[in-house]
Amino acid sequence: MRRLVVVSNRVGPVRAAAKAAGGLAVALVDALRERGGLWFGWSGKVGERFSSRIEKVEEGPLTLLTMDLSQEDFDAYYNGFANQTLWPLFHYRVDLSQFDRAHFEGYNRVNARFAQALLPRLEPDDLIWVHDYHFIPFASQLRSMGCEQRMGYFLHIPFPAPEILVTLPVHDSLVRALFSYDLVGFQTEPDRIAFINYCVQETGGRIIDDYHVEAFGRTIQVRAFPIGIDTENFAELAASAGAKDRCVRMSDVLHGQIQIIGVDRLDYTKGLPERFRAFERLLENYPENRGGVTLMQVAPTSRTDVEDYVDIRNELEGISGNVNGRFGEFDWTPIRYIGRSFGRKALAGLYRASKVGLVTPLRDGMNLVAKEYVAAQDPENPGALVLSRFAGAARQLDSAVIVNPFDTEGVAEALQRSLRMPRPERLDRWHSMMGCLRRENVDKWRNDFLAALRGRE
Ligand code: GDG
């Protein structure tokens, strides 16, 4: 069995912490343990100056390797090109995407430095699996240093339509870099098609067969691998004593009120202001919900160095303040907005205590929260999921109540319908979604990707 080398911006956690952190870490750690391997990426630390020092932690057959970033590299690579250029652009926010050549140079510089650092630790038979938008040029850097190993890439966020991508001045350089991999994986079929359309329209590339595209003198495999969660494990977590305790405490606080829940990293792609407005519209249009229905929004802050993330927080505090001021009662707060994170068990309990899961991103590669909400439900009396059609997850969870998050009225209607959905309908929908989550779980995602990367050995 070939050794696996995983490259991602953040590394770990491993051991017990991996279970607490959830699906992705567990899936990668399992694969690394099974075949032995390296997991390489940024330590999360920023030093004053660049240093090529690698920190190494051995965990049985698995080795974690991390490097610090210099302040300059952090600003250009992470806060700059990754999070102020690629993240908004790939989520169709051309208006927020800022291009700065120095940031792009920094992005390439960090990819080159990381590739250089990994190079002496690679073995000829390694399978290399690179993750996400931080490391698009990683393989091209390794190839330029003479690496011939099989390399695969998985993009966790959407791949935009060519008309959007070409607004980026360096679009060709990025796509050319992707052709250094042997396999490029996307979350959904539309992402895969967007990539192929770009190759055909912009580079004169050729579709070879269902899974292969040729461009820049290379043929690569291009496939969709929808990421899943550790479904059984999450369902067990939600039924565990710790989660139940949270569920009971929640019910005590609610005094018979019904809860709608949203859980998202605080990010402008998640459609939070639109969601709050749709909830306000629910209270306006269907006054019977006043005093009886609460929206709890958990939104831990992220990327606080980027200004757009501060703006969204202020906007949300403004809207929830207005709605609460307008409708609130001494014994009922319509929107409970919590800006810090919860432990995983508590989160599972909160999902289970909520009659409706409200997941309305404006664009999302997959969205694991939607999947976790479903897995956490009581099989005897499950809640209903309201899900944006623009989340990758909507392609699998088509038994959810699917909404367009830009349609305030429509989301309010979907909420009203979900709050009143009869139990037999909730059960039917839940069984259909759970069936899919059990079949297409995170192990399948990882195994399918690795099988495609190995190819015919
Ligand atoms: C990217 C793509 C794709 C959130 N709040 C808390 C908490 N979380 C956990 C959730 C979930 C994870 O964070 C968020 O995952 P999502 O998939 O919803 O979104 P992104 O962070 O944007 O992830 C996305 C994903 O990569 C995987 O490929 O699905 O499309 O954007 O697991 O539970 N966890 C805890 N406390 C919180 O307060 N413990």
Least confident among 196-210, 290-304, 383-397: 290-304
- In the predicted model, is pLDDT for residue 420 greater than 80? yes
| Amino acid making up residue 437 | L
- For ligand 1, the distance from its centroid to the CA atom of residue 123, given in whole angstroms, is 33
Least confident among 23-27, 70-74, 134-138, 444-448: 23-27
- In the predicted model, is pLDDT for residue 17 greater than 60? no
pLDDT at 19: 56
| 359 close to ligand 1 (CB < 6 Angstrom) | no
pLDDT at 369: 97
Q: Which atom of ligand 1 is nearest to the CA of 270?
A: 22
Cα-only R_g, the chain: 22
Pocket test for ligand 1, best of 264, 359, 367 (most atoms within 8 A of CB): 367
Q: Which atom of ligand 1 is nearest to the CA of 20?
A: 39
- In the predicted model, is pLDDT for residue 457 greater than 80? no
C-alpha distance across the termini of the chain, in Å: 10
| Of 177 and 455, the one with more pLDDT | 177
| Of 393 and 455, the one with more pLDDT | 393
Percent of the chain whose pLDDT exceeds 90: 82
pLDDT at 18: 53
| 10 close to ligand 1 (CB < 6 Angstrom) | no
pLDDT at 246: 77
CA 250 – CA 248 distance, rounded (Å) = 5
Q: Which atom of ligand 1 is nearest to the CA of 227?
A: 28
Catalytic site positions: 156, 364
Q: Give 167-177 pLDDT, tens digit per residue.
A: 999 999 999 99
Concatenating the DSSP letter of every residue in 209-274 gives ETTEEEETTEEEEEEE------HHHHHHHHHSHHHHHHHHHHHHHHTT-EEEEEE--S-GGG-HHH
Average pLDDT of the segment spanning 193-201: 98
| 9 close to ligand 1 (CB < 6 Angstrom) | no
Cβ contacts of 356 within 8 Å, gap of 6 or more: 258, 259, 260, 261, 383, 384, 385, 386, 415, 418, 419
- For ligand 1, the distance from its centroid to the CA atom of residue 19, given in whole angstroms, is 14
Residue 72's CB: how many other CB atoms inside 10 A? 17
Average pLDDT of the segment spanning 75-91: 97
Least confident among 8-22, 196-210, 307-321, 384-398: 8-22
Q: Whose CA is nearest to atom 28 of ligand 1?
A: 156
Residue 402's CB: how many other CB atoms inside 10 A? 16
Percent of the chain whose pLDDT exceeds 70: 97
Contact of 387 with 342, CB cutoff 8 Å: no
**Cα-to-chain-centroid distance, residue 205:** 29
- For ligand 1, the distance from its centroid to the CA atom of residue 374, given in whole angstroms, is 15
Q: Give 34-77 pLDDT, tens digit per residue.
A: 888 999 999 999 999 999 899 999 988 899 999 999 999 999 99
CA 17 – CA 257 distance, rounded (Å) = 34
CA 101 – CA 89 distance, rounded (Å) = 16
Instruction: Output the six-digit token pair for 157.
Output: 């966020």
CA 66 – CA 55 distance, rounded (Å) = 5
pLDDT at 259: 96
Please choose, from the candidates 171, 176, 376, the residue with its C-alpha nearest in 3D space to the C-alpha of residue 263: 376
Least confident among 1-10, 246-255, 358-367: 246-255
Q: Which atom of ligand 1 is nearest to the CA of 393?
A: 29
| 301 close to ligand 1 (CB < 6 Angstrom) | no
| Banded model confidence at residue 16, pLDDT cuts 50, 70, 90 | low
- In the predicted model, is pLDDT for residue 229 greater than 90? yes
- For ligand 1, the distance from its centroid to the CA atom of residue 325, given in whole angstroms, is 30
| 300 close to ligand 1 (CB < 6 Angstrom) | yes
| 368 close to ligand 1 (CB < 6 Angstrom) | yes
Residue 397's CB: how many other CB atoms inside 10 A? 24
Q: Give 315-353 pLDDT, tens digit per residue.
A: 999 999 999 999 999 999 999 999 988 888 999 999 999
Q: Which atom of ligand 1 is nearest to the CA of 344?
A: 39
- For ligand 1, the distance from its centroid to the CA atom of residue 366, given in whole angstroms, is 10
DSSP 8-state class, residue 276: H
| 185 close to ligand 1 (CB < 6 Angstrom) | no
Contact of 88 with 96, CB cutoff 8 Å: yes
Q: Whose CA is nearest to atom 10 of ligand 1?
A: 369
- In the predicted model, is pLDDT for residue 163 greater than 60? yes
Q: Give 285-322 pLDDT, tens digit per residue.
A: 999 999 999 999 999 987 777 777 788 888 999 999 99
Q: Is 173 strand, coil or helix?
A: helix
Contact of 285 with 408, CB cutoff 8 Å: no
- The model's pTM: 0.96
Please choose, from the candidates 247, 209, 28, the residue with its C-alpha nearest in 3D space to the C-alpha of residue 127: 28
